[in-house]
Each structure stands twice: as C-alpha cells, then as structure tokens.
Structure 1
Amino acid sequence: MHLNRRDLLRSSAGLAALLATPLAARRALAQGASQPFSYEGLVSRAEAAAKSPYSPPYQPMPEVTRQIDYEAHGKLKFKTDRAPFGDRDGAYPVTFFHLGQFFTKAVKMHVVEGDTATEIAYSPDLFEMPQDSPARLLPPDSGFAGFRLQEWNTADDWRTQDWVAFLGASYFRAIGASGQYGLSARGVVVDAALPDRAEEFPDFTEFYIAESTDPDAPVTVCALLDGPSITGAYRFRMTRGEDRTRGVNMEVECTLFLRADIARLGLIPLTSMFWYGEYGRERINDWRPEVHDSDGLALWTGAGERIWRPLNNPPYTSVAAFQDHDPHGFGLMQRDRNFDHFQDGVRYDRRPSLWVEPVEPLGAGAVQLLEIPTDDEIHDNIGAFWVPEAPATAGSSYRLHYKLYWQDGDPHPAENIAQTIATRVGRGGEPGKPRPADEYKFVVEFDRPSVMRKIPYGVFPEVMVSTSHGRVIRTFSEPVPDGNVWRATVDLALDPAEMASELRMYLALDGAPLTETWLFHFDRRNVVPS
C-alpha cells in the first residue's frame, strides 16, 4: 500500500481521544521536576540554540518505528481516561500521537499551569497496544509524535472529535466550520523546490500546552522549533468556540533565528492538494469531476487589489512569485462548496479554506506559490508562503505576528467586487467554424449578486485582459441565465513555439472594476490535443 503524510494526517482524525487524570496522577507521569516556564524564556532558548551546532532530535530504534506502518499505527489508540484536562468541569482535553513509520522523532510534551511546566512522560500503558505491535519493542522513554486538542469535554462526542492536530516536522492543521480537516500549515519552509539542494524540514521538538477554562477562550500552546539552518519559538492562541460553527481561529507569534544562510525562506507556509478542477480533467483517468482540497490562491495586496489565482497541476514543478509590500492577507481557499462538483464521500466540498492575516506588517517580499505535478490525491503538491525580499543570512532573526482563519470562506470578503467561482479551458475558435490548432478559450465565471445585479439590462461589462505571450483574438462577457453569475470569455492564440502564457483579466463597468483580478498560468502541455 502506498503511504504518505496525507494518509496519516487523514487517519489521525479517527484515532481515539483521551480523558484526563487528576493533577496528582498527571504529575506522576512527569519526567523529572516541574520547571518555570514563559514564552519569553522559550525565545531566549531558541536564540541560544541558533549559536550552537544542530543536534538532531531523539529517534528511538528507527529499525522498529519503520515497522509501525499505516495499519499498525492506526491500532495505537490513546486511552481516553488519561488526557490532561479531561477531568475538569470544562476544558479542551489533549490527546497524543504515537511514533510510527512516518513520525520517527520524539517530541517532548508539557502541561503548563501558571508559570510552571511539567513534562508528560511517554509510557506504552497510555496506549491501547496490540500484543503483536512493533511498538512494544520501543524503549520506555520513546516519547510522543504529536498531539491533538479534543472538543470541549462537556460534549458527548469529545472523545472521538478533535479540532487541532500537530504532527510531523512543523506541520499542523485545524478543522473548518464544516467540521472537516483538509489543508495544513507549517511553522516554516526552508529551501523548498530548489534545483541545487534538498528541502530542509525543521521540527517542533517541544510543546507547552496550557488549559482553557472557557470554551470561547483560546487554548495557548508554545512550541520550540529546531533544524539544521534555523531555530524558533512559537506561541499559538487557538480559539474553537462552544457553538462549533465558526471553524478555528489562531493567533500566532514567533521569533526565528538563522544558523545558516537559507536560499528560500518561506514564512507562514500553507500546504494543500490540487489534482484537477473544472479544467485539466482531460488528462486524468478518474470518475470524479474534481479532486482538490483547495482550488485557488487568494491575495489581498498592500495596494488593496483583490486577486484570484486558480491552482494548477503543472507538467513540471513551478514557483510563481507575487511581489508585494505589506499585504493585507493571502490564503489557499476552497471556494467550490457543491457536492455534485466532487461526487466523493470524503466531502472535498467541506474542506476548510485557510486565510493569513498579518497583525504586524510583513514589509517587502513576495507571496510565492509552489505547484508540483501529481498523479493522485494522496500527495500535498501545493504550497504558499511569504518570502522576504532581503536575503536570509546566518545570524538574521525574524519576528512575526499573524492570524490564521480555518473557515469555509473568506473572513474579510470585498463586498464591492465579485469573486471568481470557476475557470474552464478548451479549444479556441467559434462553433461551426474550423478550430485553429494554436488557439485556446478561457471561460471564467464571477459571482456576487449584490454586485452583478447592478449591471443595467442590455449592458455588457468590458473584459480587461492582458497576456505575457500570444495574442488575444476575441473577448466577450455574458450573464449566466440565473442573472447573478457573469462569464468572461477570452480566446488566446499562441505561436507554435510558445508553450505557456500568463493571463490577467477582470470585468469592468464604466472603467471601474466589477470583479477581482483573475490571474492564470496556462501551459498548453496541460491540454490534451483534440
């Protein structure tokens, strides 16, 4: 069976939750004495570590953890009577993941009460563990792989329902308003998709988890990050809400310190999957109309422009850079919420969108979009992150403060312009006439009733389009019969030697934009000749 990180992330939601013991029992599990703790102290530790050589995390008996495959890992269920905070009258209990084939590095876990942190000791007794499990061969100090936060413990389903998970390197994720996991975030990206070096995956090596005493108050989690080229300290304030209808909001502070030069430093990184959407299906032998966790990158630039860049499954690894200064936000979004467009019981239509809102200005740099070819839905092939303009050199430090919104829609929509809801690509030309070999048609749909209903009857908005390569042959706009959605159509002719083109388009009325700006990277190698 082919396995990857997506398989295990997906399976994590089905693992058993855990229930807390009283304080005395939890302290009986602690490794050593309790110690004073503060986030500021964690930042100081990260700064000091950056001045010392990198020491890899503890990996107990790799020859054993390699045997804890997908099936064996799924059988290691945390016992539901052992969770920190599970015994309180109201709290979000904490659950832990076991080490396994894809999660071989031990992560230290601590519970914070006031200004004191107590480490939680790993024990095989904390897990339901089959007699033939390879995990029984691991030493008693093996450690945990990650953790989750369960629903508020007065809810009947808190033992089986979680809303945040941290697992693997610096990956974490949360559910949206529809109650589903989908895309992930990361602490940092180091040298992704470079031809001359391998990507580095720093790890969250220690977590410090404080209790929330109110369902609408945030859970505070601090984390220490360490990698060959970088160290860091993070503070997450994560809010769920008792009504469970708002998705998850996070406020994140972090300070990063560089041990070495980094060619591509990706800050506030998001990771998702796009196999195919309304376009690109011609190359795919699959019964479903669309398969993706996200369908576009949304940008709200520092100048105020709203941009939508549909995602691609390109024939080669591609990195697009969107230069900006102090952007208002960006995100990987799942705008398509129609089950009929997916026809899959895993409910891609319920996957959350993830929006980044800087609290402190980001300065000069670029949102970079990474797209990697994939032939299946099991691979996370999409990345989006902020890359500062200044070189990331050894000795540099970065302080970030931002919010993450795991929701079904945009938390800050522009009410005065319409959004892109579909992108379709096909042969160019006109029906009933010969179709030119090098001509392609792009049909883009925009929707926002409050905007589109203002278009006078018989008036057709102007299609404002530009392209990096090729010639625009014809354009027109037309309403879809329901009256709320408008289509823009662009025919583009490429010279035989031209393989790709960047298109930029929006609808305008009396010179003013009616829609967000649609950007599209078209590569004819993504189109099956007909």
Structure 2
Amino acid sequence: MKLKLFIAAIISSSMSLHAAHAQGNAKFTFEDLKAMAKASAEKPYTPTVVPAPELIDKITYDQHWKIRFKEDETLYPNGKNAPVQLFYPGRYFPEPVKIYIRDDKKHAQDVPFSNELFDMPADSPAHDLPKGFGFAGFRIMRPDMKPDWISFLGASYFRTDGPQGQYGLSARGIAINTGMSEPEEFPRFSAFWIGPAEKKGESLSVWALLDGPSITGAYRFGLAKDNKEAKGHITSVTANLYMRADVERLGVAPLTSMYWYSQKDKTVAKDWRPEIHDSDGLAIHTGSGQYIWRPLNNPQSVSTNSFFDENPQGFGLIQRDRDFDNYQDDGVFYNKRSSAWIKPEGNWGKGAIQLIEIPTKDETFDNIVAYWVPEKPARKGDEFTFSYDIEWRPLDPKSEKLASVADTRQGLGGIPGQPIPEGVNKMVIDFEGPALEGLDHKSGIKPIVEASNGEILEPIGAYPIVGTNKWRLAFDYKQSNNNPVHIRAYLVDKNEDAITETWVSDAKVTIE
C-alpha cells in the first residue's frame, strides 16, 4: 500500500491541530509538536470519540492477537534494520491513534487505516469495523521480521523485551494521581510520528502527542537496541508537559510492573510456582550518592512510599532474582523479565521517588508503579520539561564500593526448638559483592538496624554465610500497631563506614 498525504478529517480536537499541519506535505519538527501540545492545553479537553464502541468491545484479547499486520505492508522509516508494524484496535485499545511517517527531510505523511492492511480470521468481528477508524499503536521488529523488541500500545504505555527477549514491565508517558482515592487519569498518545534516527546508535526516532483531561505533552523518543554499556535497550525520552488543569500528583518517568509474591512472602498465594513477579524491588541511587534497595510487597491495601531526594541519579523497578529454579515457569519465564532503570538528564531539583503498591490476587494485573514527583505543584498553565534515559537492563547499575542485597526472606521469629514468640517475625537479608570479599567474624563488621512504628529485638546477627561470599543480616521485629514497621538496615565496617547499600522495607508481621 502506497502512503498518501494526510487529508482526512480527524476525530478528536487535539488531533485536528496536527491534521492541519500535515496537509500539503509540510515539514514536521519537534518544535511544531510542542506548539501543538501547548495550544491544545489552552483549550478544554474533548474526549476522543470511539466509532462503533459495541463492535470494538467484541474484539477480545484473544481475538485481537489473531489480527496480524501483513508482512508485505511493513513500513521502513529507517531502512531494513527497523521494520515497523501497526496494531489493530480492540476491546482494551479502543481509541484510534494516528500514525505518520517522517522522512529524512522531515516531511510527514499519514498512514491511512484500512482492514486491507491486516490478516484476520474469517469469523473475526473486525471485518465489520467502519472505514477510517484508526490504529491502536505500533511495534518495531528486528531485521528480517524477527520478533519485535519494542511496542507502543494503549494509553501512554510502551515496553521492550529487554536483554533476554522477554516482555515484562512497562513504562508510561506520564502518571496522573496514581494510588489516590480519586480515579486515576490515563492520558494517551493520540498520534505518533516515526522517522529515521536522529542520533548515532539509535534505530528510530519517534515523536508523540499526549492528550488528557489535565495535561498535554510533546514527546521525543530515541529508540536504541542492544546497547553494550546497558547490556540491553535504551529509550531516550524528552517530555515537554503543559498543564490543562491542576494535578495533585504528577508522576514523571513512570514504570509499571507486577508483584504477586516471592520467597519473602510466598505464603500470600497458593500457586505451585515458588515466585511470581515481573520485578522484585525498587532500586534508588540518590542525589547524595546513597544506594537504596526496597523489596516489593503485595499489601492488603493500597500503599504509598515516598523517598524524598534532590537531583536523583537514577531509580528503577528491578528483577534481581534471575534463577529459573526460583520460578519454575517455562511458559512466561519470569527469570528473564527485564529491569528498567530511569537515568535523569540534568538536574531535576527537589521532589520524591514514589512507590505505589496495590493488592493483587493473581499475576494478570500490574499492581506496582514507581515515578518521580516534582516538589513544585503542577498547576493549570504550568510547563515542565524532563529528559531521561530508560535503560532496559538485566540488573540495576551497582555501586563499585558497596555490596548489594541478594535476597530477602521473612518467617517466624524466635529460636528453633524454643516456644514461638507471639506477634514476632524474623527478617533475613543476604548481601553480596566485592566489598565483602575477605571479611570474616574478626573484621569488625557491625549491623545497623533502625525501625519506626515497631521494635527490633535483640540479638541482631551479622555473619558470613558458610561456603559463599555473602553475608547475612538477621533480626526479629514486632509491630506497635496495625500499621507496617518501617525498617532501615545495612552493614558498616570497623570504621563505621557503610559497606552495603541500604535495605528499607515496610514490614508487617504476617506469618502466624
């Protein structure tokens, strides 16, 4: 199918802005996109109309994945190394998205939607979809049409398959009022421009228009595959945000993942697999240089944790446990799920890295969100610019001087063979890394364990694990009330200098 210039009418008010711009084969630049987003923010929000919503609802999850973009219709904005295929709309992706191709001279052309671009089963309800609808998103294939490695699909979500070729956690363009009592807002990318890479080492450049009731945005994505330094893919993001209304909680560079249970709290579920999670912890490298590890929880009610900081050096949702034996899942391979590390560009000022944990009873819903919240309130008429890299890595970048948390386990308190104390749990934390090599009982290593809303019980043990290079920190704790105990723990050497990252957790006595 040959591309033709965009002349069709566009459904939403925000999309009409870029409709006029794209006519006449005009040049399209990031400055143009920023002007579109800013102008849209000055007008009332108009929800996108979904033509034939009853019909779209019939395209279920299973039926949606049976509809495939035809290989001979594949788009090549940057040659054969980055083939682009488009997604069909469906029940979970009903709102139409415009797709443009930008050439090396910065001219933009629309890709008209048509059922003829797709292969679908004879009995698919998609055959009855009215003409001129719209795509749901796109994905980028490997050369020779091998599996895709990045996709943009639904609201402002996007994700990669990471260094081991297994999709898991996702990123988003923005998070609005996540984890609050009022309904969360989900702005969406209403249009994408896909073109040749602007920077060395990237496969493609993508520009996106964000639109929502409280915000608009102009985004530029640089998409790089198989970066040697990160040992995975890198998505470079520049986000220019324009506030259409006041927002109480603006979440920048949000990551979304799933955590059901792990070795720490496997009593939460009765599934046959030992662990089920896309990520097992939040890692933070603060502006002052501190390294923090916060193991994830599946709480009984929505939990919000804020880590206040200034100019953070990085944070991410990480899958540190890479041992297949700890999952035993040979279908979706949780041991291969990618980690995602946010690396800010420039100074982000004061704010907080916020972690939202939502209860879940299975593995089908994402229940973990992490993002940066600026200290400055987001008010109508405000403008923000944030630039950052998302490194889709096997693990988070480690400190060269500090040992890292390898495992966290929780169980009954007390001493084996003696009566089990009531209302007491034991926490066991294992550390590993070069900083611990050669240390033994005579090295003067001391544990530092602090708690609020609870009590740490003596004795506190810190010792090398026989036959390994790891050290173990173990202690009992109890709660003061029904709220979790906030605990900080790490190891120091004989000079009182930290030799491990800081382990933090909101722990509850849960095992009876």
For the criterion TM > 0.5, the same-fold answer is yes
Q: Distance in 2 between matches of 1:490 and 1:470?
A: 13
234-243 vs 287-296, which deviates more? 234-243
Q: Give the 3 Å change call, closer, same or farther, for CA 87–267 of structure 1 in structure 2.
A: closer
Deviation at 1:87, TM superposition (A): 9.9
Q: Give the 3 Å change call, closer, same or farther, for CA 383–77 of structure 1 in structure 2.
A: same
State the partner residue of 2:216: 231
Structure-1-length-normalised TM-score: 0.90
Kindly provide the amino acid, as one letter, of the partner of residue 298 in structure 2: N
Answer whether contact 2:141 2:149 (CA < 8 A) is retained.
Answer: yes
Superposed CA offset, 1:78-129 (max 9, x none)? 10011111894x3301011100001000000000012211010111000002
Pair 1:110 & 2:117 matched: no
State the partner residue of 1:306: 291
Deviation at 1:265, TM superposition (A): 0.8
Q: Distance in 2 between matches of 1:299 and 1:489?
A: 23
Q: Distance in 2 between matches of 1:258 and 1:484?
A: 51
Identity %: 41
Aligned with residue 221 of structure 1, among 203, 206, 210: 206
State the partner residue of 1:494: 479
Q: Distance in 1 between matches of 2:244 and 2:390?
A: 27
Deviation at 1:137, TM superposition (A): 1.2
Answer whether contact 2:403 2:435 (CA < 8 A) is retained.
Answer: yes
Q: Distance in 2 between matches of 1:33 and 1:78?
A: 28
Q: Give the 3 Å change call, closer, same or farther, for CA 243–256 of structure 1 in structure 2.
A: closer
3-state SS of 1:269 partner: strand
3-state SS of 1:206 partner: strand
3-state SS of 2:145 partner: coil
Kindly provide the amino acid, as one letter, of the partner of residue 3 in structure 2: R
Pair 1:275 & 2:260 matched: yes
State the partner residue of 2:125: 134
Pair 1:240 & 2:231 matched: no
Deviation at 1:254, TM superposition (A): 1.1
Structure 1 residues 308-327: aligned runs within 5 Å: 308-327=293-312
Pair 1:419 & 2:410 matched: no
State the partner residue of 2:238: 253
Aligned with residue 469 of structure 2, among 448, 459, 484: 484
3-state SS of 1:492 partner: strand
Answer whether contact 2:136 2:153 (CA < 8 A) is retained.
Answer: yes
3-state SS of 2:443 partner: coil
415-424 vs 465-474, which deviates more? 465-474
3-state SS of 1:81 partner: helix
State the partner residue of 1:64: 55
Answer whether contact 2:261 2:268 (CA < 8 A) is retained.
Answer: no
Kindly provide the amino acid, as one letter, of the partner of residue 314 in structure 1: P
Superposed CA offset, 1:4-37 (max 9, x none)? xxxxxxxxxxxxxxxxx7xxx2348985653320
Q: Distance in 1 between matches of 2:170 and 2:482?
A: 35
Deviation at 1:215, TM superposition (A): 9.4
State the partner residue of 1:328: 313
Q: Distance in 2 between matches of 1:70 and 1:118?
A: 30
Kindly provide the amino acid, as one letter, of the partner of residue 82 in structure 2: Y
Answer whether contact 2:5 2:24 (CA < 8 A) is retained.
Answer: no
Deviation at 1:217, TM superposition (A): 3.1
Pair 1:172 & 2:158 matched: yes
State the partner residue of 1:469: 453
Deviation at 1:159, TM superposition (A): 2.1
Q: Distance in 1 between matches of 2:359 and 2:473?
A: 28
Q: Distance in 2 between matches of 1:150 and 1:456?
A: 51
Kindly provide the amino acid, as one letter, of the partner of residue 54 in structure 1: Y
Q: Please list every run of 5 or more consecutive structure 2 residues that lacks an aligned counterpart in the other structure.
A: 9-22
Superposed CA offset, 1:21-73 (max 9, x none)? 7xxx2348985653320001100110010000112224121010000002211
State the partner residue of 1:347: 333
Q: Distance in 1 between matches of 2:30 and 2:102?
A: 11
Q: Distance in 2 between matches of 1:400 and 1:454?
A: 43
Q: Give the 3 Å change call, closer, same or farther, for CA 202–338 of structure 1 in structure 2.
A: same
State the partner residue of 1:208: 193
Q: Distance in 2 between matches of 1:64 and 1:271?
A: 29
Q: Give the 3 Å change call, closer, same or farther, for CA 245–425 of structure 1 in structure 2.
A: closer
Q: Give the 3 Å change call, closer, same or farther, for CA 454–30 of structure 1 in structure 2.
A: farther
Deviation at 1:245, TM superposition (A): 9.5
Answer whether contact 1:240 1:246 (CA < 8 A) is retained.
Answer: no
Q: Distance in 2 between matches of 1:460 and 1:76?
A: 63
Aligned with residue 162 of structure 1, among 127, 143, 148: 148
Answer whether contact 1:278 1:423 (CA < 8 A) is retained.
Answer: yes
State the partner residue of 1:338: 323
Kindly provide the amino acid, as one letter, of the partner of residue 396 in structure 1: D
Structure 1 residues 441-456: aligned runs within 5 Å: 441-448=426-433, 450-456=434-440
State the partner residue of 1:6: none
3-state SS of 1:386 partner: strand
State the partner residue of 2:33: 42
Q: Distance in 2 between matches of 1:477 and 1:460?
A: 10
3-state SS of 1:340 partner: helix
Q: Give the 3 Å change call, closer, same or farther, for CA 122–408 of structure 1 in structure 2.
A: same
Q: Give the 3 Å change call, closer, same or farther, for CA 246–470 of structure 1 in structure 2.
A: closer
Kindly provide the amino acid, as one letter, of the partner of residue 512 in structure 1: D
3-state SS of 2:267 partner: helix
Q: Distance in 1 between matches of 2:47 and 2:77?
A: 33
Work out the number of aligned pairs and report it.
Answer: 494
389-398 vs 30-39, which deviates more? 30-39
3-state SS of 1:429 partner: coil
Q: Please list every run of 5 or more consecutive structure 1 residues that lacks an aligned counterpart in the other structure.
A: 1-20
Kindly provide the amino acid, as one letter, of the partner of residue 507 in structure 1: L
Q: CA RMSD in A?
A: 2.0
Answer whether contact 2:78 2:203 (CA < 8 A) is retained.
Answer: no
Structure-2-length-normalised TM-score: 0.93
